[in-house]
Amino acid sequence: MYREKIDAYFEAKAERMTEAVRRLVRIRSVRSEPLPGMPFGEGVSKALSEALKIASELGFSPVNLDNYVGFADINGRDTELCIIAHLDTVPEGEGWTKPPFEGLVEDGKIYGRGAQDNKGPAVAALFALAAARELNSSLSKNARLVLGTSEETGGEDLKYYFSRERKAPFTFTPDADFPVINTEKGRWAPAFGAAWEESAALPRIVSVRGGDAVNLVPHEATAVVEGLDIELLEEFSDMIAEVSGTEFTFEEKGSQVIIKAKGRNAHAAEPQKGNNALTAMLFLLSHLVFAKSEGFSMICALNSLFPHGDYLGKELGIAMKDEPSGELTLNLSQMDYTLTGFSARFDCRFPVCGTRESVAEAAIKSLKERGISVTGSDEFVEPHHTPADSGFVRALLRAYEDYTGKKGYCSATGGGTYVHGIEGAVAFGCSMPGTDNRMHGADEFAVIDDLIKSAKIFTQAILEICG
Write the pLDDT tens digit of every residue in 159-191.
999 999 999 999 999 999 999 999 999 999 999
Q: What is the pTM of this model?
A: 0.86
Categorize the per-residue pLDDT at 232 as very low, low, confident or very high, splitting at 50, 70 and 90.
confident
- 56 vs 66, 115, 124, 374, CA distance in Å? 17, 21, 15, 51
Among 361, 381, 401, the domain-final residue is: 381
Q: Which residues on adjacent β-strands are paired with residue 173?
A: 427
pLDDT value at position 415? Answer: 83
Active site residues: 88, 151
Structural element, H or E, at residue 242: helix 230-244
Q: Domain boundary at 348, 381, 414, which?
A: 381
CB 282 within 8 A of CB 306: yes
Do 65 and 124 belong to one domain?
Answer: yes
Residues 260, 362, single domain; the answer is yes
Domain count, the chain: 2
Statement to judge: residues 355 and 219 lie in one domain: yes
pLDDT band at 384 (very low <50, low <70, confident <90, very high): very high
| pLDDT at site 377 | 65
CA–chain centroid gap for 461, Å, is 26
214 shares its domain with 320? yes
pLDDT in tens, 276-303: 999 999 999 999 999 999 999 999 999 9
Residue 441, pLDDT score: 87
pLDDT above 90: residue 2: no
Q: Yes or no: say if 224 and 257 are a contact pair by the CB < 8 Å rule.
A: yes
Q: Is the pLDDT of residue 101 over 90?
A: yes
User: CATH number, domain at 133?
Assistant: 3.40.630.10
**If we measure between CA atoms, which residue out of 141, 120, 153 comes closest to residue 34?**
153
| Average pLDDT score over residue span 101-119 | 97
Domain final position from 336, 353, 381 = 381
Percent of the chain with pLDDT over 90: 91
d(CA 292, CA 258): 21
In sequence order, the 6+-apart residues with CB closer than 8 A to the CB of 89 are: 28, 29, 30, 113, 114, 117, 119, 152
Residues 418 and 294 in one domain: no
Residues 181 and 279 in one domain: no
Q: 452 and 332 share a domain? A: no
pLDDT digits over 238-272, tens only? 889 999 999 999 999 999 999 999 999 888 999 99
φ/ψ of residue 131, rounded to 5: -65, -45
Please state the φ and ψ torsions of residue 263, each to the nearest 5 degrees: -115, -135
* One domain, residues 158 and 61: yes
Amino acid letter for position 401: E
Asked if 40 contacts 149 with a C-beta cutoff of 8 angstroms, the reply is: yes
Residues 216 and 107 in one domain: no
Query: Average of pLDDT values for 87-94?
Result: 93
**Residue 320 banded pLDDT, cuts 50, 70, 90:** very high
427, 430, 426, 433: which is closest to 452 by C-alpha? 430
Asked whether the predicted pLDDT for residue 367 surpasses 80, the reply is yes
Among the listed residues 149, 150, 86, 158, the one whose alpha carbon sits nearest the alpha carbon of residue 123:
86
- Per-residue pLDDT at 378 exceeds 70: no
CATH assignment of the domain containing 327 = 3.30.70.360
Q: Are residues 103 and 225 in the same domain?
A: no
- pLDDT at position 156: 96
pLDDT in tens, 392-408: 999 999 999 999 999 99
What is the domain range of residue 420? Answer: 3-185+384-466
The strand pair at 326-327 and 329-338 is best described as unpaired
Distances (CA, A) of 216 to 168, 406, 449: 34, 33, 32
The DSSP line for 339-392 is TTEEEEEEEEEE-TT--TIIIIIHHHHHHHHTT-EEEE---EEPPEE--TTSHH
51, 163: one domain? yes
The dihedral sign for the CA sequence 463, 85, 323, 405: positive
Confidence check: pLDDT of 467 > 90: no
Same domain, 398 and 326: no
Whether residue 118 is preceded by a cis peptide bond, meaning omega within 30 degrees of 0, is yes
Asked if the model's pLDDT at residue 1 lies above 80, the reply is no
